[in-house]
Structure 1
Amino acid sequence: MSERSEPVYGILSDDFTGGLLVASYFEEAGIKCPVYFDPAVAAADDSGAPIVVVAGRMRLSPPADALAEMTRGLDSLDALGCGTVAYKACASFDSTEEGNIGIAADLLADRYSQVPMLISAGFPEFRATVHQGYLFYQATLVNESVKRFDPVTPMPDPNLVRFLSHQTRSPLGLVSHLELIQGEAAARAALAGVVAAGHRHVLLDSSDAHDIEISTQLALDSRAFVASDPLVVGFGLARAAAFRGTATPPKQVDGPAAVLVGSVGPVAEGQLAAFCASHEILTLDLLDERTEDAQIKAALDWARCRIGAAPFAITTCADAAGVGRAQEKMGRIGAARRAERLLAGIARGLHAGGVRRLIVVGGETSGSVIGALGIARVRALGRGPLGGGFCIAEGEDPMSLFLKSGKLGTPDVLLRALEAMRP
């Protein structure tokens, strides 16, 4: 057992794929960064890692439930003695009208007496940007982009200052690209002016990589902040720079492979179409009148003779019309949760049947699958050509996983990931 030391930085991620993605940047730099799915296990961490991630499932939870889960996650990071804490949301700041990003900002501001609470969205590397407070996805206002088809978080208002202000106790201020482009001194002066005007929370633009660089310098003074991937990563690489090159990466695990896809939308549909050209796919109907247990059993019966023969996929993905019908009957959240329960039950059965390489598409789906498999901790692999999401569940029964956001990746990413997961 290694001697316990206090991490310099703790990250609370609102979903599993996002937590793994930021960890992959640190592991790529040779900075050890375990990812925990159980706050209680995280609180007992003895890895000696300089950065720790606790990945939860707060994005779609009712606000009261999300607040309770956030508190448990922060309790574990505080128990470890993390010098700085970040609440990590996805690049497009996926959120319902009720929360939960603004709720996280209020919680962190109160808990750590942090004013201003810096907030940063976007991911310029993947063409998600924030300019003058407006969120753009693939160079289009988010409410006019493909994000408008998101079945749960369509983000109808692109003005993040306005949208997030509905979730917080006080309205947000803004430090825009026009101030950030002038450098750190001008950005600090602008930030001071926004705080003097009475704003407790301040959104920082992320129009380009330079905005992120200056935002990172501003955040280095903070005890806590709320951000998407680039600021969360930039801060960690700066704060833990002394630990670069000290981590030994984990190794892939051999065994039968399978793919589970719970995400919906054009990106996931394209990836499934490319996979279908050379592999079998079973599509589940959320409106199937059989019980969930019966559907899970039928899917496992279909998979049984295929395990070990060739990779295959099982999905609940549907086109826009199919999603609409399911939501009309079960509600927006109800349809999503049914899909997650089905795939989680199937994942448990696939693992019992020998699957040891598993790809899961969708942040919420990944959370359900990890919970069903009883995995409390993983090590991310450093980013490669496919980006982050690859991880190893170590221990007596090791498993290779690729947990992928449904919004990212090329059409052939599932096929390429299977190859990348070979030992």
Structure 2
Amino acid sequence: MLLGAIADDFTGASDLANTLARGGMSTVQFVGTGRGKTDCEAGVIALKTRSAPVDDAVRQSLEAARWLLEQGCEQIVFKYCSTFDSTPSGNIGPVAEALLRLTGTGVAVVCPAFPATGRRLFMGHLFVGDRLLSESGMQNHPLTPMTDPDIRRWLQQQTKGEIGSIALDVVRSGAAALRNGLRAELTAGHRLVVVDAIEDSDLTTIAAAVADHKLVTGGSGIAQGLPQNFRDQGKLSGAAAEVPLVDGPGVVICGSCSTTSQNQVACHLQNHPGLAIDPAVLMRGSMSVERAARWVEANAAENPIVYSTAAPEVVSFVQQRFGREDVAGKIEAFFGGLARRLADAGTRQIVVGGGETSGAVVEALGLKNMMIGPEIDPGVPVLVADRSGPLGLALKSGNFGSPHFFAKALDRIAGHE
């Protein structure tokens, strides 16, 4: 294993694995701290630490990094969301600093940019499309509301050391200039350095500049150029993994409440049956996994969707009434239990919307690792696991995907274009 990656949620892990596989690295996504097959060039460990207590996030991330280093990894990537989902007391800074210490790294870039999905970083400020992060809808995220687009300022609240910054004009001057800039930041005492990027070519330049860095941090976009570093060293086999097609009953599960997910749910409901899960009803115990599973099975031929997606004001009302963490935990447990019940009964395709929901589903299914298949939409690949036969999945971050993503994902898992 040449490159090891640690992702703070499951959709982010598949996003990164997709980027590395497209770059020509044989890639496996692991669930938890690394188990199963290790005959790959890139291993991506999916953790569920984005909203975990800081100490837990650091402990799990270090455990994952140690395992990856034991497999021979020459470079570690710490992957977080391209919308930098966290809070002022969040985990990105503490985990990054802990990984700096573990790997003995002097300086590491911080770059959540992913231009293909509209995430661009300029003068340290993160944009989603043509809006600042804080005006993109992410300010209403139920767990990690992003109210400040300045990644330098946000990260500074989470870290002990001072945060550095490198502007776009330095990146555009080339890899050598960027390497000099990173050395200057380290001399100034800045070990985490926010680096601008607004196009894929900027990310390629960053990748070239950090070819000898033991630690790299960023969104999945940061990995676009990393495979080329290993290719230039003659270390890649060039062998593509064969991923089986998976046919059979399919279901869509969506727990994300992002604006993108709301639109995708509405699109899917135009041609497919849907079961709305009211969080308040769920909290009162009036909806059970078994009841929902029977509804899915009755509509199995029509690729149904089960969703708790709702407008921010509705989510906020339920959270205020029952408690944010209790509501989130209840929804995740419900969807995880539903996925397990359906898979046990023969469902072979499961498409999931939302990072926390995806983590709950994969953990409930008890999967060890997943093969990386073709890309569905930017950042979202087909995943195939072995669970009493092939099980096809798609794990979508709330803000990712085209309007008709859910139907497209089911078609792609089955091998239909």
Q: TM-score range by the shorter chain?
A: over 0.9
Which of 81, 87, 95 is matched with 2:72 structurally?
81
Aligned-pair CA distance for 1:29 = 4.4
- In structure 2, the CA distance between the partners of 1:185 and 1:387, relative to structure 1 (3 Å rule), is closer
Matched, 1:310 2:310: no
Aligned-pair CA distance for 1:160 = 0.9
Work out the CA distance in 1 between the residues paired with 2:55 and 2:102: 17
Matched, 1:353 2:359: no
Q: Which amino acid aligns with 1:302?
A: W
Further displaced range: 395-404 or 152-161 = 395-404
Other-structure match for 1:299:
292
Work out the CA distance in 1 between the residues paired with 2:155 and 2:38: 37
Work out the CA distance in 2 between the residues paired with 1:285 and 1:323: 10
Other-structure match for 1:21:
15
Task: Summarize deviations over 1:61-100 as a string: whole Å, max 9, x none.
Answer: 1101111211221122122121111111111111122121
Structure 2 gap ranges (5+): none
Work out the CA distance in 2 between the residues paired with 1:384 and 1:237: 23
Work out the CA distance in 2 between the residues paired with 1:139 and 1:206: 15
Cα RMSD of the aligned pairs, angstroms, is: 1.9
SS at match of 1:318: coil
Aligned-pair CA distance for 1:328 = 0.6
Matched, 1:406 2:412: no
Work out the CA distance in 2 between the residues paired with 1:258 and 1:412: 14
- In structure 2, the CA distance between the partners of 1:104 and 1:256, relative to structure 1 (3 Å rule), is same
TM-score (norm 2): 0.94
Work out the CA distance in 2 between the residues paired with 1:293 and 1:68: 37
Other-structure match for 2:383:
391
Which of 28, 31, 43 is matched with 2:25 structurally?
31
Further displaced range: 185-194 or 50-59 = 185-194
Structure 1 gap ranges (5+): 1-6
Matched, 1:262 2:255: yes
- Contact 2:204–2:224 (CA<8 Å) still a contact in 1? no
- Contact 1:63–1:103 (CA<8 Å) still a contact in 2? yes
Matched, 1:379 2:364: no
Paired-residue identity, %? 28
Matched, 1:8 2:2: yes
Aligned-pair CA distance for 1:104 = 1.5
Q: Which amino acid aligns with 1:25?
A: T
Aligned-pair CA distance for 1:327 = 1.4
Work out the CA distance in 2 between the residues paired with 1:387 and 1:178: 27
Further displaced range: 293-302 or 126-135 = 293-302
Count of aligned positions: 413
- Contact 1:261–1:313 (CA<8 Å) still a contact in 2? yes
Aligned-pair CA distance for 1:405 = 1.2
Which of 219, 243, 266 is matched with 1:273 structurally?
266
Aligned-pair CA distance for 1:419 = 1.6
- Contact 2:179–2:210 (CA<8 Å) still a contact in 1? no
- In structure 2, the CA distance between the partners of 1:322 and 1:341, relative to structure 1 (3 Å rule), is same
- In structure 2, the CA distance between the partners of 1:284 and 1:160, relative to structure 1 (3 Å rule), is same
Task: Summarize deviations over 1:282-337 as a string: whole Å, max 9, x none.
Answer: 01111116665952222123223223x22101111111221111211233333222
Matches within 5 A, 1:61-72: 61-72=52-63
